[in-house]
Structure 1
Amino acid sequence: MSNKKVLIVEDDIIYSKYMSLGLEKRGFDVVVVRDGTEAFEEVEKNTFDLILLDIQLPKISGDLVLTKLRETYSPFELPIIMISAMDHTFDVVTYLKLGANDYIIKPTHIEVAIARMNTQLDLVELNKRSLEKTELETLNSLIITYNHEINNPLTVAHGMINLAKNKKDFVYLDKVEEALERIAGIVKKISELQNSGGVSKVDYLSGQKMIKLK
């Protein structure tokens, strides 16, 4: 998986060099920083696909960096893999609970690290596709709803116009006006939905899903 931008937050110069060279050879775009303060600055300036974050850092510890980043980015928005020489179960569980996507024990073979990274990047992509599918389903439901809601008053209006013509009785035009007002109301609701996103799904005929216009 190439062209992914990775931030390595690691104060060990030798290990960070080993990781950055290995990732760059495999097509990753890598930025290396030495502490948490620099990490925040980089995340503020750039968009990263994944962060490799050492636990023991100068100035700001890795757990505080993780906690702070999770206030803004979810695990699917910005995967963070912790790096540590400690392999205690308690440490692993603690950082996973804080929001880490994974935990790598160093020294780590580059291929193992990349496999773990690609797993997280794949999960991000799957989540993105799932959200896109949900959005498409919602859009389809909206189309069905609007088609139904607008066609009904249009049919009424068309029928009333024909009656008015045949009977030469323009009282029927009052019904036309009511139908057109109904259409105007639907258009207004569509505009409000665009601004608020307030929709809910309901069951309709033949098991079709429609959107309830609130």
Structure 2
Amino acid sequence: MLDTSTENSFILVVDDTLTNLEIISEALTEAGFEVATAIDGKKALQKIQHRLPDLILLDVMMPVMDGFETCKHLKTHPETHDIPVIFMTAITDTDSKVEALSLGAVDYITKPFHKAEVLARISTHLQLRNLTKNLETRVVERTSELNRVLQDLQEYQLQLIQQEKMSVLGQLVAGLAHEINNPVSCIYGNLGHALSYFESMSHLIDLYQNYYPHPVTEIQNEISEMDLEYVRSDLPNLIFSMKEGIQRIRDMSRSLRIFSRSDTENKIQFDIHEGIDSTILILKHRLKGSENRADIEIKKHYGEVPLINCFPGQLNQVFMNILANAIDALDESFTSNQSSVINSEIIGIPQVLIQTMLSEDTNNVLIKIKDNGIGMLDEVQQKIFDNLFTTKPVGKGTGLGLSIARQIIVQKHEGKLEVNSAMGKGSEFIITIPID
């Protein structure tokens, strides 16, 4: 009885004897198979080009192209390699059977045929092929499923790393900013009072000198020794300088609070320029020059962009990762041992250009961060966002920064993070974030 899984299978019968073709074709048709015939190997290969059979019955001794040659041809082509081939032969010597099997045939049938045997063997090999196909499909599906699970696990690990990192960093920076802010606010407020007190004392000195222009010798000597006029003229400048320094500390404290702000479960309105500026201020110490390069120049070209719905803390981390990488690239590019390979298009001053603008459809904000470093090779660009990929020496990088950055932009903000780079022409990262 024919297995239902093999019904309607397409079988190609190749034999140069018409009687054999008729007998086998009739038996296979009655059994529910779809049948095609060919009288030699060459014509069989021509028919296969139009439609691939599920199984081939192949005679050994044929003109033009015999069965062995035909089988060799079938097994050397990927599209026909897996088609089961059963040889039909009147030759009973063992060598011929061994050769047939060594060429890739799955079985052989000895002439004269026995209908039941032929149908049983065909049905068995069709079932085996179907099982093999199903197994291969399940392996592919299972492999794909495992790859998805692995990718999900890696992304989840990145989320945990990022959340833990931001949580610890946020607590540390927020606490530091709070501790700095208290004494700084005290100093900033008291400097105003100090200036007011000095002005009052200076007025009192003017009154004293007006009514007592000729004090005793000891007082005159002290005035001359301390250079009173210079002190009176310079002290306000000192107070203003201290006030400016304290203001810079206050700005840094504010930047730390902006950068480390905790994200809620929902997105909030945020000024990306404020986030970029706070990140630059935190990285300011890394912009200073060294014996290998000049100060890094930050050029900002901010467009008129609205507030965007986002997770500010996470977005600040993206700015930090990209800008820190740009500084690393400039450090590497402008060292003395790299100067010989830097393209002439790279100017002598290391620079980072930051641009913000609306997309053409005004639905997205574009943030472009470009350095004028040495750039990246194509193979590096293709892996730059991969988890744990890094070109930095051991201990200098984890390979997580850009991977986390892309996850934040793509998954958390439904945006895009792209890179354009060429050797000798620097690198540019382009962040696209929906406004709503």
User: Judging changes above 3 Å, is the alpha-carbon distance between structure 1 residues 96 and 110 closer, same or farther for their aligned structure 2 residues?
Assistant: same
Aligned equivalents of 1:85, 1:21: Cα separation in 2: 20
Q: Does 1:81 align with 2:100?
A: no
Q: Does 1:136 align with 2:357?
A: no
Aligned equivalents of 1:3, 1:96: Cα separation in 2: 26
Question: Percent identity of the aligned residues?
Answer: 26
Coordinate RMSD, CA, aligned:
2.8
Paired amino acid for 2:257: D
Paired amino acid for 2:31: R
Aligned equivalents of 2:106, 2:41: Cα separation in 1: 18
User: Judging changes above 3 Å, is the alpha-carbon distance between structure 1 residues 143 and 73 closer, same or farther for their aligned structure 2 residues?
Assistant: closer
Quote how far apart the aligned CAs of 1:35 are: 0.9
1:139-179 deviation per Cα after TM superposition (whole angstroms, max 9, x unaligned) = 23212211221122223444527964992624445883246
Of 155, 159, 162, which residue of structure 2 is paired with 1:154?
159
Quote how far apart the aligned CAs of 1:72 are: 1.1
Aligned equivalents of 2:76, 2:144: Cα separation in 1: 30
**Which residue of the partner structure matches residue 16 of structure 2?**
11
Aligned equivalents of 2:141, 2:18: Cα separation in 1: 47
**Which residue of the partner structure matches residue 21 of structure 1?**
26
The question of whether the paired residues in 1 share the 8 Å contact of 2:75 and 2:82 is answered with: no
2:7 is paired with a residue whose SS is coil
Q: Does 1:48 align with 2:46?
A: no
1:78 is paired with a residue whose SS is coil
Paired amino acid for 1:92: K
Structure with larger Rg: 2
Give the length in aligned residue pairs. Answer: 187
Quote how far apart the aligned CAs of 1:45 are: 1.1
Quote how far apart the aligned CAs of 1:180 are: 6.7
Paired amino acid for 1:136: E
Paired amino acid for 1:182: S
Of 92, 95, 98, which residue of structure 2 is paired with 1:90?
95
Q: Does 1:169 align with 2:257?
A: yes
1:127-146 deviation per Cα after TM superposition (whole angstroms, max 9, x unaligned) = 11221222233123212211
Aligned equivalents of 1:65, 1:76: Cα separation in 2: 12
- Structure 2 counterparts to residues 27-38 of structure 1, below 5 A: 27-38=32-43
**What 5-or-longer segments of structure 2 have no aligned partner?**
1-5, 175-255, 261-312, 322-399, 411-436
The question of whether the paired residues in 1 share the 8 Å contact of 2:55 and 2:85 is answered with: yes
| TM-score where L is the length of structure 1 | 0.77
Of 63, 67, 70, which residue of structure 1 is paired with 2:72?
67
1:169 is paired with a residue whose SS is helix
Of 392, 398, 402, which residue of structure 2 is paired with 1:181?
402
Quote how far apart the aligned CAs of 1:106 are: 0.9
Aligned equivalents of 1:155, 1:90: Cα separation in 2: 65
Aligned equivalents of 1:155, 1:25: Cα separation in 2: 64
The question of whether the paired residues in 1 share the 8 Å contact of 2:15 and 2:59 is answered with: yes
Of 1, 7, 12, which residue of structure 2 is paired with 1:2?
7
Paired amino acid for 1:130: L
Between stretches 167-176 and 97-106, larger displacement belongs to: 167-176
The question of whether the paired residues in 2 share the 8 Å contact of 1:157 and 1:180 is answered with: no
Between Structure 1 and Structure 2, the one with more helix by share is: 1
Aligned equivalents of 2:108, 2:156: Cα separation in 1: 56
The question of whether the paired residues in 2 share the 8 Å contact of 1:76 and 1:127 is answered with: no
Aligned equivalents of 1:25, 1:151: Cα separation in 2: 58
The question of whether the paired residues in 2 share the 8 Å contact of 1:85 and 1:107 is answered with: yes
Between stretches 16-25 and 156-165, larger displacement belongs to: 156-165
**Which residue of the partner structure matches residue 204 of structure 1?**
none
Aligned equivalents of 2:162, 2:59: Cα separation in 1: 69
Aligned equivalents of 1:73, 1:34: Cα separation in 2: 24
1:40-98 deviation per Cα after TM superposition (whole angstroms, max 9, x unaligned) = 10011111000000001111111111111111158872001000111111111111001
The question of whether the paired residues in 2 share the 8 Å contact of 1:55 and 1:62 is answered with: yes
